[in-house]
Structure 1
Amino acid sequence: MANQSAVVVGGGVCGLVASLLLRKRGYDVVLLEQASQLGGLFCSIKDSSGAAYDMGSHIPNATGIQELDHILFKNADDATTWNRINKLCSGNYFAGDWDLSSPFPDARRLPNDVYSKGCGELIGLNQIPQSEFIYQYCLESLGVVFTESIVAPILRKLYGKGVDLAGLTMEAGLFGFTRILALPADVTASLKSLPAFDSKLGYQTEQDFLRRKKQDNLQDVEYFYPVNGQGIGHWVAELQQQVEQAGIEIITSEMVSKICHTGQKVTSLELGSNRVLACDLLFWSAPPFIALNAMGLTPKRGKVELRTAVIYHINFDKPLLDTKSHYLWVWDDKTDIFRLTLYPNLNQQSTHNHLSAEILCAADEVSEYSLECIVDELKAMQVVADDAQVISHEQQAINNTFPVPTQEFKQLNQANYELLNASVDNLIISGRYSGRCWRQAEVLVDAFESIDKL
């Protein structure tokens, strides 16, 4: 393996970790990132008071792979820097009220007649749907009433009021709201022994959940969050330090202009600066169409809609009222906020009372939101006290960050992945861009397994 060169394109967490894994296996590695800094969406920002915020709820967890976890959380035993979280606490706001014990919307909060009719439908649906489309899946799983009163409004909140619900694939349910709370707790616990009901109902008591966890021999998952006031960006900083100490060259603010290949082998990469990088192995952690263009191949094109994330980072003069939850889902259709991150609960050493409120919208809708409106909604939801005042804040609009998951989008991604994968042999494509996985831990495990096969 000596003297073989590897180029990692994409300087997010996956690219940083892939660089270290390849270096450990003897490659001379260059890490290339188009942006001016590494980390991607795992960067953090600070407001005028010094409160740190993340670009969403980013709370990494251990993977169970010793070599990988040692890289990811090398310094996690340092209690002055890291909070080790044995139980990640989440809740949800639905139908005008909070449930801080479950992330799933509670159908029992619907009007009595709607709820009763919905339960009648749900009980009669005892087969696991096979549909690839989330709306049809929910009709066959939850029934018309619960689909229309719970799931459909959430889909419109996330993907746009005018979205074609019937055209959204199952990937639209990434956040787990196709499972709901309904029926008495003991009835739910019994029904969840049946696969069709297990997939659509959530446990209502911790005792029932723990009993099932023991029955299935599920291992505890440990989560981590920095407590040094730097936000999740500190994780990126630690990973970057490992990369630098390993002797890996980092190139930022640079892009690939050409991927040179002979037959089925990538031989080198030409950069925008005209620098040429020798390449015996290419790890690609970026959209495949970029690589296809750089190889002189024609990627498949089609209609793709990408949502903009608007994030309000707000620091108050009074404590947040929820002192338990690490993050919260907002399923209620009276607000466009869909998720909250409560930093004092992640970092109990924090001297700030700060949170992030996330919204997904079209790029031309960003100006429709205001700090005053968001603060009013937070007070109405009793996230903060009515007399709480904003002492500092930041707003971020991250364009093209969240795809509307249609069949065309899925097929487009798959076609470009397959074309790229078939074009050369000495290439690894990150799992996020292959359609195999989306969540960060799954992407990292996929990268580890791909590199471990070399």
Structure 2
Amino acid sequence: MYHSVVVGGGVCGLLAAYFLRQYGHQVVLIEQSEHCGGLLRSVQDEQGNYYDQGTHVPNPTGIEMVDEFLFGPESLRHIEWNGISHLKTGNYFKGKWDFETQTIDARKLSRTSYEKGMGQLLINTEKPEDSNIEDYCKNSIGETFFMELVKPVIDKLYGPQDDYKKLSAKNSINYFGATRLLALDEAKTAKLKEIAEYDERLGFHTHAAYQTWMKSQGIIEPTYLYPKSKKGCQAWIDSLIDKVTACGVKVINGSGVTGLNVSNSKVSEVSLNNGEVIKCDWLYWSAPPAFALKLLANKEQGTSGFRPSLRTANIFHYTIDRPLNNTHSHYLWNWDSSSDIFRITLYPNLNKSREYSITAEVLSDAEQAKALDSQRIFADLKSMDLVTADANITSSYRQIVHHTFPIPTIEFNHHVAHQFKQLTHSINNISVSGRFSGKLWLLNDILKETYQSIHNQFGNVSE
């Protein structure tokens, strides 16, 4: 029998284990923590209320076999899932909400800064090719908008930097929308967006405008899904674990990999810290490649000495005694410097059974995490008018998760790409999660890549 080993029990690892089992492989999934699910798990407070570890609202991939594993048969999804036609977001900046877009509105700046910034944006007519975020922004939206709009977002997410030119131009800042702006009225924006160079710098004013553009490009907006269960994302993870174990995958929690036996450029055995040695014909690795490189027989691999700087996620969960003021948004971004919060999840708008619950997220370094105060964060939610002034906390839960988001320096991206290439070229029977290639960010893209890598190796399940 063919033996496959999956390292890492996040959603991608669960998907890989499930599909490898469909090929008739004997599959062992190894997860270092006591529970599978990674950052998509939920937590409970003392009263039993569930909260997600961040904002996670998946959507189908368009690959039938993948989607059936993730969400069940399409005809039955309405039983377990709330369908969301589009995710409603918004952003808080300069003391005001914009509930149509997460894109920062430059018109909220002082008149002097706005006019100076617009002049710089309009005279930058070439597409920037800079590899660092500072020069990229200065040569696209201009120096003023970089300093007053983008730099504060970088500081909120990754902390103040000694040199912003060390940060990569292509990183999660782009995903968060900080390198696109609202800068003119909707009609003028639409005209400027007809020019490719300006299209990349300006965001849509409304979701309706974005939908019109997608329709013109033949893009179908996906329907997002959120569990109807009070457990939130934990209900999803529990169902995936049940599917994986039901089909015969052996799941080992609470154990780490301590050795990789390699013969003829292939991993033949995987050793665990509990003393177990597992036979391996194929290895799916959904952990940083550096960890695998250090375990290979050639101990010189992966010893560059580079250590990435990693942020700490501080997640504040609250259940209160009043309805939320915002009854429509699913999640929100805070770009205002008045609060450390960067993202907020509004559970009642995702699932009516989770009334009165809200989560706020803050990124910090490890030492700063100690000084963050739950009452202060709750006061910030009140000052932003998301929670009524007379609301009281009935229960809460605080998470401190160290070593989460890496600071996206050019050096970090170089090492990620190099280690991915080094590992995949050193071992012939390995597939590494796309997240660790340095090329993918969104969960949907990683899930598709996971399925495709297995399909490319083993063909169709029916073959």
TM-score range relative to shorter protein = over 0.9
Which range is displaced more, 158-167 or 401-410?
A: 158-167
What is the CA-CA distance between 1:209 and the residue it aligns to? 2.2
Asked whether the 8 Å contact 1:257–1:294 carries over to 2, the reply is yes
Unaligned runs of 5+ in 2: 458-463
> Which residue of 390, 394, 402 maps to 2:393?
390
Asked whether the 8 Å contact 2:107–2:183 carries over to 1, the reply is yes
| Cross-structure match for 1:197 | 198
| Cross-structure match for 1:332 | 336
| Cross-structure match for 2:87 | 88
> Which residue of 307, 315, 321 maps to 1:317?
321
| Separation in structure 2 between the aligned mates of residue 110 and residue 58 of structure 1, nearest angstrom | 31
Asked whether the 8 Å contact 1:119–1:183 carries over to 2, the reply is no
Asked whether the 8 Å contact 1:80–1:228 carries over to 2, the reply is no
Which range is displaced more, 318-327 or 153-162?
A: 153-162
Aligned AA (2:211): L
After superposition, the CA RMSD in angstroms is: 1.3
SS of aligned partner of 2:258: strand
Q: Report Cα offsets for 1:173-232 as digits up to 9, x if no partner.
A: 131211111111101011111111111111113443232111111112121111210011
Q: Report Cα offsets for 1:371-416 as digits up to 9, x if no partner.
A: 1111111111111111111111010000000100111111122222
Moved over 6 A (4+): none
Matching of residues 145-294 of structure 1 within 5 Å? 145-169=144-168, 170-173=170-173, 174-294=175-295
Which range is displaced more, 4-13 or 61-70?
A: 61-70
What is the CA-CA distance between 1:162 and the residue it aligns to? 4.0
Asked whether the 8 Å contact 2:322–2:392 carries over to 1, the reply is yes
Asked whether the 8 Å contact 2:42–2:51 carries over to 1, the reply is yes
| Cross-structure match for 1:440 | 443
How many percent identity over aligned positions?
Answer: 38
Please say if 1:372 is aligned against 2:347: no
| Cross-structure match for 2:312 | 308
Asked whether the 8 Å contact 2:211–2:221 carries over to 1, the reply is no
| Separation in structure 2 between the aligned mates of residue 46 and residue 384 of structure 1, nearest angstrom | 21
Unaligned runs of 5+ in 1: none
Asked whether the 8 Å contact 2:89–2:331 carries over to 1, the reply is yes
> Which residue of 419, 432, 446 maps to 1:416?
419
What is the CA-CA distance between 1:424 and the residue it aligns to? 1.2
Matching of residues 5-44 of structure 1 within 5 Å? 5-44=3-42
| Separation in structure 1 between the aligned mates of residue 49 and residue 73 of structure 2, nearest angstrom | 23
Aligned AA (1:381): M
Count, aligned residues: 451
Quick one: structure 1 residues 166 and 46, their matched pair in 2 at CA, closer, same or farther if it must change by over 3 Å? Answer: same
Please say if 1:143 is aligned against 2:142: yes
| Cross-structure match for 2:460 | none
| Separation in structure 1 between the aligned mates of residue 419 and residue 210 of structure 2, nearest angstrom | 41
Asked whether the 8 Å contact 1:172–1:404 carries over to 2, the reply is no
| Cross-structure match for 1:403 | 406
| Separation in structure 2 between the aligned mates of residue 338 and residue 184 of structure 1, nearest angstrom | 26
| Separation in structure 2 between the aligned mates of residue 295 and residue 414 of structure 1, nearest angstrom | 18
Q: Report Cα offsets for 1:399-453 as digits up to 9, x if no partner.
A: 0001001111111222221221111101000001111212111111111111110
| Separation in structure 1 between the aligned mates of residue 208 and residue 11 of structure 2, nearest angstrom | 36
Quick one: structure 1 residues 93 and 163, their matched pair in 2 at CA, closer, same or farther if it must change by over 3 Å? Answer: farther
Asked whether the 8 Å contact 1:134–1:172 carries over to 2, the reply is no
| Separation in structure 2 between the aligned mates of residue 309 and residue 84 of structure 1, nearest angstrom | 29
| Separation in structure 2 between the aligned mates of residue 346 and residue 207 of structure 1, nearest angstrom | 20
Asked whether the 8 Å contact 2:214–2:221 carries over to 1, the reply is no
| Separation in structure 2 between the aligned mates of residue 271 and residue 114 of structure 1, nearest angstrom | 58
Which range is displaced more, 286-295 or 202-211?
A: 202-211
| Separation in structure 1 between the aligned mates of residue 51 and residue 142 of structure 2, nearest angstrom | 39
What is the CA-CA distance between 1:81 and the residue it aligns to? 2.7
What is the CA-CA distance between 1:75 and the residue it aligns to? 5.8
Which range is displaced more, 390-399 or 119-128?
A: 119-128
| Cross-structure match for 2:349 | 345
For normalisation by structure 2, the TM-score amounts to: 0.95
> Which residue of 366, 373, 376 maps to 1:363?
366
SS of aligned partner of 1:17: helix
| Separation in structure 1 between the aligned mates of residue 166 and residue 23 of structure 2, nearest angstrom | 44
| Separation in structure 2 between the aligned mates of residue 105 and residue 314 of structure 1, nearest angstrom | 27
Which range is displaced more, 70-79 or 338-347?
A: 70-79
Which range is displaced more, 204-213 or 399-408?
A: 204-213
| Cross-structure match for 1:430 | 433
Aligned AA (1:181): L
SS of aligned partner of 1:401: coil
For normalisation by structure 1, the TM-score amounts to: 0.97
| Cross-structure match for 2:121 | 122
Quick one: structure 1 residues 254 and 78, their matched pair in 2 at CA, closer, same or farther if it must change by over 3 Å? Answer: same
